[in-house]
């Protein structure tokens, strides 16, 4: 591809969550969730890593960051989310393998577990009742999420985070 | 399919473990590991569950068992096993979702984490040195594994196990 | 102490669960939970291990078993169970350290996570409503628990379990 | 106690790590590790929470932060660290219980898993060889740790982190 500049950080944020009994989810639906979240994250990671490996390995910031957006479902399989949970569990595993392989080469790979609704267009358009019920700040603010991603990106190479969770203060967990 | 008898227990045991850097594993290889371990386990589970749901729900033994063979890789992604780790993490998640959905319907879904080499044909044929180095009983005996699967199958419905690990006494972990 | 015979298996089963806000639990209450579950398990383990180390290391069964009864609280700290959760988390950690140190010496150390009410005297005497609501088998049967402990004790040394969970088929988790 | 000002954040950082076989660690040593890390963290938490609950619950920053320094040992019991591992596992559980109870009341409780040596006075004085072998930045810089604690403290209330890890880029895990 034509090079647009130097890559320093890349964020993987694909996802979708169908809800159904395992018996009602087809192999095609199950595969689609995997393609989006697991395979997508793997292929994305390979391309990003190849680009980042061309950067100099800065003594404080390394070569750059590869940040994966995860979900609580990655940690626990539960109905009716069998497809998204399996896909997100696979993505989390990918982030761990990449962190262990490429951390020593100066690339910061992290996995952010988003646990709660996001205060963005999708919920406001499709789930107005939930937005109202949650109140503010009962949903994750976009700027607050972005701030943590940014802080992960600029962490000093001597103290990198591989995984953290983000949830509204009153979200049950 | 033509019915051969009443299904009481089914064991999913597919797997394969290629080793390579994430950069050297193709999307096809990554997909193949997922097809074998995760999608295979999901599709297998659906077929088995539909058969088991036809059984009576016995007050002590339930309708039957669906047992998944997992691996330590399911718990931790690490190079050079990114493909098998992601696939086994997905399988573990599937087993949890199915256990939570179908346990209350009388079906025992369990995930067995095999942590160590298995004292079977494959290692004896392909890894004679490892077999010699492990000594006996440094590899998991087939009969010992089978015994635990059997015990899981006959557990009383009031005390079912969802996950356990199996490893040789001297295996580091 | 006067020796009564050869020790082969020992089960640690102490516990108690007070419920209160962290602000209402005194340091003394917190300490009491720890003394019962964590320190008790550690001291018990040391005495048992010293006795088991005197046994011959049988090639199939090893020297004997040390089995710890844990609880779901060991895996997740949550109010109002801060004291018991911290104590059970400590006990689980003890079981892991002992398994890693003494497994290679032929001693089987395992941790059993009991997740649900037990169909025994305590609940029948103190929580008749819960017993009625759970129905049968909605509580763990004593014989079923005992059977799994027995199976852990007689597992072959090539395939030992360090941790498993036990819960009634319909218990949410 | 005489009030010196308004408390906004408190960090618990006690710890010590004796190394020995479980058979050589006395109940007193085991208790000492617990007093330092678990009981200390519990009592500290109660005092801090009472002070923070007097603050107004700011819509963006809440009432304040209670940050616990943990260690990898909290996640896995292993010899020769049985005492510190059990103590740190208990502390982690305390942090979870407090987060679940007091997060909804506007107090941010987090647990930071430090995984690696710290580039501070203790290692420089007592482990010069390890310092030399690690190189720079092979040990966690004090300023880098402090920066992450600060970022946790100022996280927006809509997106709080309960747990994260910190390790040097090349630390195996």
In sign, the C-alpha dihedral spanning B148, B150, B156, B157 is positive
Q: With a CB-CB cutoff of 8 Å, which residues 86-145 of chain D face chain C?
A: 86-98, 100-102
Residue A95 confidence (pLDDT) above 90: yes
Between CA B126 and CA B108 the distance in angstroms is 35
Which token pair is D34?
């617990």
Lowest-pLDDT choice from B70-84, D1-15, D145-159: D1-15
- Mean pLDDT, each 10-residue run in order, chain C (173 residues): 82 86 96 97 98 97 98 96 97 98 98 96 93 95 98 98 98 96
CB of C70 less than 8 A from some CB of B: no
> Residue A72 corresponds to which tokens in the numbers above?
């609580």
DSSP state, A11? E
> SS3 helix, strand, coil % of chain D, rounded to 5?
45, 15, 35
User: CA-to-CA distance for B41 and A53, rounded, in angstroms?
Assistant: 36
Which of C32-54 are b and which e, b meaning 16 or more Cβ less than 10 Å from the residue's Cβ? bbbebbbbbbbebbbebbebbee
Compute the distance between CA of residue C63 and CA of residue B170 in angstroms, rounded to an integer.
13
Kindly determine whether residue B42 and residue A94, on different chains, have CB atoms separated by under 8 Å.
Answer: no
Residue D15, pLDDT score: 80
| Mean pLDDT (chain A, rounded) | 95
The DSSP annotation for A116-137 comes to S-B-SHHHHHH-HHHHHHH-TT
Partners for C (CB, 8 Å, 3+ pairs)? B, D
Whole-number Å distance between alpha carbons of B67 and B147:
13
Residue to mutate among C86, C100, C111, with most D CBs inside 10 A, is C86
Q: Count CB neighbours of C66 within 10 A.
A: 27
Q: How confident is the model at residue B13 (pLDDT cuts 50, 70, 90)?
A: very high
Instruction: Tell which residue, B134, B45, B158, has the closest CA to residue B93.
Output: B45
For chain D, which chains pass the contact test of at least 3 CB pairs under 8 Å? A, C
Shortest Cα distance from D76 to chain C (angstroms)?
A: 6
Could you identify the residue written with the tokens 């029948």?
C124
> Do strands C64-71 and D9-12 pair parallel, antiparallel, or not at all (unpaired)?
unpaired
CA dihedral A134, A140, A144, A147 (to 10 degrees): 170
Residues of C in contact with D97 (CB under 8 A): 22, 77-79, 81-82, 85-86
For residues A108 and A149, the answer to whether their CB atoms sit within 8 Å is no
For the ranges B13-22, B60-69, C125-134, the lowest mean pLDDT is seen at: B13-22
Do A100 and B85 lie within an 8 Å CB cutoff?
A: no
**Contact (Cβ atoms closer than 8 angstroms) between residue C78 and residue D96:** yes
The minimum CA-CA distance between C142 and chain B, rounded to whole Å, is 9
Do residue A163 and residue D164 have CB atoms under 8 angstroms apart? yes
Q: How far, in Å, CA of D67 to CA of D90, rounded?
A: 15
Contacts with C, D 16-45, CB within 8 Å: 21-23, 27, 30-31, 34, 38-39, 42-43, 45
Structure ipTM = 0.96
Neighboring chains of B (3 or more beta-carbon pairs < 8 A):
A, C
Q: What is the pLDDT of residue C16?
A: 74
Q: What is the pLDDT of residue D1?
A: 53
Report d(CA C158, CA B166) in Å as an integer.
Answer: 8
The Cα–Cα gap between A7 and A65 comes to: 9
Residue pair B3/B54 in contact (Cβ under 8 Å)? The answer is no
Query: How far apart, in whole angstroms, are the C-alpha atoms of residue B103 and residue B161?
Result: 11
C-chain residues near D101 (CB < 8 A): 21-22, 79-80, 82
């Amino acid at each position: 591809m034509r090079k647009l500049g130097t890559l320093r950080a890349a964020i993987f944020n694909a996802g979708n969550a169908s809800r159904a009994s395992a018996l009602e989810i087809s192999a095609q639906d199950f595969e689609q969730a995997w393609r989006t979240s697991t395979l997508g994250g793997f292929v994305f990671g390979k391309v990003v890593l190849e680009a980042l490996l061309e950067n100099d390995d800065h003594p404080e910031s390394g070569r750059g960051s590869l940040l994966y957006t995860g979900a609580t479902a990655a940690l626990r399989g539960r109905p009716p989310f069998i497809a998204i949970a399996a896909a997100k569990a696979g993505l989390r595993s990918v982030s761990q393998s990449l962190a262990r392989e490429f951390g020593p080469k100066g690339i910061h790979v992290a996995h952010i577990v988003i646990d709660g609704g996001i205060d963005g267009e999708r919920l406001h358009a499709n789930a107005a009742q939930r937005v109202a019920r949650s109140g503010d700040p009962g949903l994750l603010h976009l700027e607050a999420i972005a701030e943590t991603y940014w802080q992960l990106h600029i962490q000093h190479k001597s103290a990198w985070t591989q995984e953290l969770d983000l949830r509204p203060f009153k979200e049950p967990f």
